[in-house]
Structure 1
Amino acid sequence: MRKPRLLWVSDSPVLYTGLARVARELLPRLACQHDVDITCYACFSAHKDIDPTKFPYRILPGDDQYGRETLEDVLRREEHDVLVTCGDVWMMDWVARESRSSGRWVAAVTLDGEGMPEKWQDALRTADKVVTCSSFGTQVVEKIVPERRLRTIPLGVDTAAFKSLGSRRDEARLGLGMADRFVVGCVARNQPRKQLPLLVRAFKQFLASRPNAVLYLHCDPRDQAGSDLVELIHREHLERHAGVTCNVSVVQGATADDLNAIYGLFDVFALPTMGEGFGLPILEAMACGVPVVATDCSAVTELVRGRGELIRVKDRQTVGPYNIALAIADTEHLVGLLHKLYESPELRAEYGRRGREFAETMTWDRCAEQWAELLEEVVAEGDSPSSTRRRAGSDVDLWPSPPVLSRRPPEGPNGGGSGMRIAVVSTFDYPCGIGVYSESLVEQWRKLGHEVWCLGERVPPGGLRGEFPAGQTVRCWQRGRSWAEVARTVRRLQPDVVNLQQELSFCWDPGEWDAVLRQIQAVCPVVVTYHTLPKEPQPVTRNRRPDVVVLTSPRAFEAALREGWTTDNLAFIPHATARPLSALPDEVSHRVVTWGILGQGKGYGECLEALKLLLAEFPDATLTIHAALVPGAWSEQVQFFESEVMPGVWRRGLDTKVRVVLGWPSDGDLQALVAEHSVGWLLYHHFDSAWCASASLQVGWSACRPVITSWAHHFDVTPDLQ
C-alpha cells in the first residue's frame, strides 16, 4: 500500500515559535512511526542545509509570508494526497481561493478568542477537514463547520525533556542568586496578547509585601511586536527584582534542555494572557511540576482548571483588524493568587503533582497517533467517499436492537461458572441518576456471576445499596480530576472488560480522554455508556474510539450514526427503572411516571412537551416530577422551578396532572408513590431533550415498558468482544 503523501504548511520547524514547535515534534513522528511521506513548506525560512537526522522529511524553504506568493506553484508541482495548513485562520484563509487540482485540504487552526470574520468562515467551509487543538476552538468552529468535518486534536509535550529538576534545582537557583527567592516566571513571546506589562505591574504590587520575590521573563525584551520590557522594568524601578532573558528571538531560541532548566527555577508560572489557541508553555510548565496561574479564558481554562489557579476575567475587548474578542485579566486577582501560592507550599506542590500527571497524558506520540488516524481517513475519503465512514441515511436502521448479549456464566450465578472480570468506572453513590444506574448495573452483573470492581468516587465499603466486598471497591477518580489513576488501577486489576459510565462533566479534556482510553485499551476492551450527548458529539466520538459505545437516548444514538459509527459497535439501551419492581400488582387503576431532573434548567420547555405527549397517550396517568437538585446550587434551582417550571406546567394546562417534588427520590419515595397511586408503570429517567420528539418518545416508552419488572435482562448487555 502506498504511503499517504502529506504537504504540511506552517512556520519552519527550524524556528522557535509555537507553530514551529508543532511541526518539529509532530512531523518526525508521522514520518517515522506512522509511515507518512511528508513534504514541509517552511514559512519564514530560507534554510537549505537541514540535518536529515533531526528532520526526516523534505523541507521546502519558503521565505514569503505563509506561502502566499509561491505555494500555488508548489501545489501544482508537488504531488500530494493531503494539504495541511497549520496556523491561525488569518494566516491561511487565502488557501480557500487557490485552485487545488489534487489532494484534500485539512485546515489545522488555532483560535484564541471569540468571533470570526465572514471571510474566515467562508474559508473554513471549503476545507475538507478542520482540526482544532482545544475544545474552546471546537466550540467556535462548530457553528460554521458540520460535525463530520471537525476534529479536536490537542497538542502535546515531551515529558522526557520537560520534567522536574529534582535535586539539581537548589544548585541551579543558588548559582543564579535565587536560593532564598520566590521566583515568578513566564515563558512567552513578547506580544500584546500575552499581556506581559500587566504581569510586570501585578508583580510590583506583589513585591510590596514579598520583598524576596523576583520576576523572570523568558522572551525577546524588545520584540518588534511587543513592548520594550527593559524600559518598562526600569520605569517601575524593578531592576533588582526582575530580569529578561537576552538574545532570544524566533530565529535564536532556547533548546528544550535550556527551557526545562528555566522552568525549573520557577516557584510559579504566571501568564495573564488575553487568549491562547492552546498554550504550550503552560503544558511545559506543568510537565516540569511548576504550579500555573493563567487567565480563565479560551483554551487556558481546559489546561489549568483543577490543576492550577485561574485569573478572573475583568473585561473583554474587541481588538485587531479581525475584531476578535479577547479577555483582560484582573490584575488585583492575579496579585491575590500569587499571595495565595506564596503562603502555601503544600498547594504549590499539589498543583505541581496534578499538572505533571496531566502532562503525562498529553504526549506528542498521542497527538501523532490521532493525526495519523485522521490522515488515513482523509485519504480514504478522497479515494472513495462512499466506502469509508457510513452516514445515517435511508439504508440505516436508526433503532436496531443491541448488537449482541453478554457472556453469561454457563452454570448461572450459583453454579460455579466463571463469569467475566468487569471494572465499572462511575460516580457511585453520587446524588445523580448515573450513580443509581451504575449501582443497579453492578448488582445485576454480580447476580449473573460476573466479578465486578467499582472504580470511582464515593465507593467505600457499604457505600452501595447491596452488600459488596470491600476489596472490590477502589476510589481512584473524582469528578473533574485526572483519569490517570483509573488507567493505573485497570493495569493493576487486569479485567476482561472496562465499562466507563460517561457523562459530559466527567472528562472534559479530549486529550486526556484519548490518552487514558489508549492506556486502558492496551489492557482490555472498553465499553463506554454515554448518558448525555451535546449537539456535537463528545471527543470520544471524534478521536480515539472505545470498542463499543452504549447510548441511552435516541437522539444521541442517531447523532453517533451520523458521526460515522455503525451498529456493529454501537448499542441503544434506554434508561428504565433504577430498581427491579417485580412485586408490583398486575391490576392497577393509575399509572405514575416518575422523572428525575438534574436541575440545571436546560430544555425544560421541551421536557414539558414530552409530559404533554405522555398524558395524551396515557390520559389516566398521574405524573410526578422529582427534581433532583445539584448540591451547592439549591437556592438557584428552587428559584428556577418556582419561576420557570411550574408556570410552564400551568400554562400548558398540566397543573392538575403534574406535581413537582424538590429533592432526590429515595427508595422510600418510590415506595410511597407505589402505595399512594397504585403504581403500574414506573419510568425512571433523566429529563433529556432527546425525549422531546414524539417518535423518539414512542420508541423510548415502548422499549422501557417490557423491562420494568425485568430490569436484569437489560443489564445483561456487555457485547461479545471476541
Structure 2
Amino acid sequence: MRILVDLQACQSSSRLGGIGRYSLHLLEAMARHAGQHELRVLLNDLMADSIPGLYEHLGRMLPREQIQVFQVPGPVAEHDPANQARARAAELIREGFIQQFAPDIVHVASLVEGLGDDVVSSVGELFPGDSTAVTFYDLIPLVDKERYLTAPVITEHYYRKIAGFKRAGGLLAISEFSRQQGIDELGLDPDRIVNIAAGVDERFRPLSIPPDQAAAVRQRYGIRGGFLLFTSSFDQRKNHGHLIQAFARLPRELRRRWQLVIIGNGWDAIYAHFRKLGADSGLSDDELVFTGHVGDDDLLALYNLCDLFVFPSLSEGYGLPVLEAMACGIPTIASNTTSIPEVVGRADALFDPHDIDSIAAKMREALSDDGFRCQLAEHGLSFSRRFTWDASAKRALEALEAQYERTRRQPKPAPDRVRLETIAALRRLADKTPRSSPDAVRIAAALSANGRCLRDLRPRPSRIGWITTWNTRCGIATYSRHLAGAHLSDYWFFAPYELGLECPDEPNVIRCWHPGQDDLRLLAEQIDAYQIDTLVIQFNYGFFDFESFRRFLQEMIGTGRRLYVELHSTTDTPEKHLAEFAVPLALCNGIFIHSQNDAEVLARLGLTDNVEIFPHGVPDLTPAQVALEIPRERFVVASYGFFLPHKGLFELIDACRILIAEQGIDLHLLMINAEYPVAISAELIAEARERIRAYGLEDRVTLVADFLDHAQSLAYLRQADLILYPYQETGESVSGAVRMGLAAQRPVAVTPLAIFDDVAEAVWRLPGTDPMALAQGILDLRRRLLDADPDLQQIQAQAVAWLDTHSYARLSEVLWERLTA
C-alpha cells in the first residue's frame, strides 16, 4: 500500500505547537512500522523556509525521493478575501497532483489549516474522499462558536473543513473524547473514526539536569528558584487568565517559594495583557515569567526542573503537554474537562478550570503536601508509559489498511485523464471566479512543474547538467570549461543564446535561455526533456531575473533534483539582493563559494549548513611562442584580464608614468587586457590608448586588446618580471585572471582587496589602489627582485605549492566525485 502523508502541519504555524509535534511523532513511528507499505511525504513549496529542516529530519527515516513537494500559485491564506479564488484553484492543483501520484491512501495530518498560513488542504475535490484519512483533533470551534467563529471569513473557512471531515473515508481521532465528539456532533459513522490516541517522545523522561545547565536555563528566563510550569499556545481556551488569578490567590508564603512560568510563542501585547492581569491580582512582576517559544532542549530542561505542572485548559482534543510532563516524572494537575481526564488518569489530580478557587485549591494542595506531590509524580511516570507513539502508529496503520480494503477495488484513472480533469475543474472555477492573468500563468507553471515531479518517482543521480555561459568571451564560460575538464562529454551544458561564439558548440550544449530577463520556462523544460537529475548552476548577478530564478530553483528542488549553485559574486546591487532567493538556496545540496568573505555574507542570510568553499583553479598549459620587441634590460610589468572599469588599468598607466617620467625607472608596461563584448570595454581601450599617447609612452606601453587563448596569454605573461592586478573596488568574489598570472610562474602583486583573499599566501599585497601606491609597490618589488629578497622568495615558494593544489585537473576530479557521490 502506498501511503502519502500530507505534512503541511509541520510547515505552518502549527509546527510550533501540539499539532506539529503530534504529526511529526506519528509519522516517525509509522515509518518504523511501515513494513511492506510505501510511505511518502507531501510538502508545500509556498512554505519553503520550513523545508530544509524537514528534509534533514525526515531524511533520517525516508529516502529524499520519497519526499514530494507540490507547487501552487500563492498566496492562499484565506484571512485575506483576495486569496480565496486562488486558494480554491490551489486545492484543485494539489488534489490533481495527488491523483496523478496514485497513492492508495492519503493521510492529511491536519485539515483545519490555511486561514492564516499558505496551507492548501481539502478532501474529495478530485482525489477520492473515500481514500483520504484525516487526523481528527477536536471540534472546539464548532462547540464554542461564539468564541471562535467570530467573522464570516473564519466561519466559511471552518465549515469548509467540516465538510472535508464528512467526505473523508477515515478519521484518526487523537483521543476517545475526540472520537465520540465526531460521532455526536457530525453524525460520523463510528466505523469510520478510530481512536489512535497519542504517545510521548522517548526524550521526555526524568533527567538530572547538571547544575551549570540548570543555572544557565534559569538565568536565560529569569527563574530565581522553584517554579510551577504551564506550556501552551495563547489560544483563548488555554485559560491563562484563570491560572494567573488562581496563582495570585495562593498564600504569600507559597508564592515566595515559587514563580509561575508560562511557555508559549506569544507576542508583546498578550504578555502585557496578562502581566497587567497579574498586577491587578496582586502579583509582583517577577512572580510571573513568560519565556516565549523555547527550543526542545530548554523545554526538556524546564519540564525536569519544575516542581509542579499545571494545565488549566478549558477544552482539548488530547493535551499532549500533560503527557510530556508526566513522562518526565513531574507532579501534574489539570482540568477535569474534555479529553484531559483520560490523559491524566487520576481523579484527585483534576480541578474545575472554570472556577479560579478550584484551580488555586488544587495548586495549594500539591505545593503544601509533599506526599501528595510524590504520589502525583509516581502516578504520572507509570501512567504515561501506556501511551507510546509506536502503539498509536500501529493503530493508525491498521485503520489505513482497513480503509484501503474498502476502497482497493475502485478503478484509478489514467494520469492523462487526471490531468485533463484537473484542467477542466480549473476552467469551471475560472468561469465562476475570474482571476488575473498572472494567476493563470502561475497556475500553468505549477501544473507543469508538478507533472515533471511525478514522471520519475525514484530519480537516480546519473545525468548531470550545468547552467552556465559557454564558449564565449566570459570568465565564467572559461572557468566552466576548465572545471568540466576530462568529464566535459559527461555533462550537459544549458547555455544562453549567443551571437558570437568562439568556436562551434559541442553536441552536449543546449542553448535555451536569455541572460537578464528570461522567465526560464524553456530552460526548465529542456532540463526535464534531457532527464537531468543533478544540476550545477554558475551564478552571477547579471545572468538572471531574480524572481524568475527563485521560482526556477524552487521548481528544481520540488522535482527532486540535486542542486548545486556556485556563486561567483555575493555583493548585492541596488536592484538585486541575494536575500530574494535565500530560502531556495537553503534547500540546495550545496552552495559553492570562493572566499571567506562570501561565507560571511551568506551567514548573515542564515546560510551556513550547505555552504562550501570551492576554489578557482589554474589551467595546466604549455605556452605558445610570441615575439616582443622590448629591450632585455628593461623591467617589465604586466597586467592581465578583460579591460573593464573596475580593473584599475588607468591607475596602472598613471603609476607607470610616475615611475618612468618622474623617477627615471627603465620600465615597460605590458597590458594583456582583452576587449570584453560590451560597449564600455571598447570605449575604455580607446581612452587608454589616447592617455598613453598623451603621456608620450607609446614605446613604453604595449597594449594587446585581442582575445587570446590561454597558451598565448601565458606566453606573453612569461615575458614579465612582475605581473600586477591593480583592481579597484569590485563585487566579484574572486579573480580568475590572477590565476593565469600565477600559472606564468612570475611574481604576482595585487591591490589590498578581499577579491584576492583566496590567493593571499601566493601573492604580494600592494600598499593601496591609487597610482602613487601602485608606483611605490612596483618600485619596492623591483628592489626586492634585484636583491633576491628572502620574503619575496618565500612567497614564490608558496605560489608553487599553491599551483600544485589548485590545478584544474585536480579540481575537476574533486567536483566530479562530489556530484556523483
Compute the TM-score of the two structures, normalised by the length of structure 2: 0.40
Compute the TM-score of the two structures, normalised by the length of structure 1: 0.45
Structure with larger Rg: 2
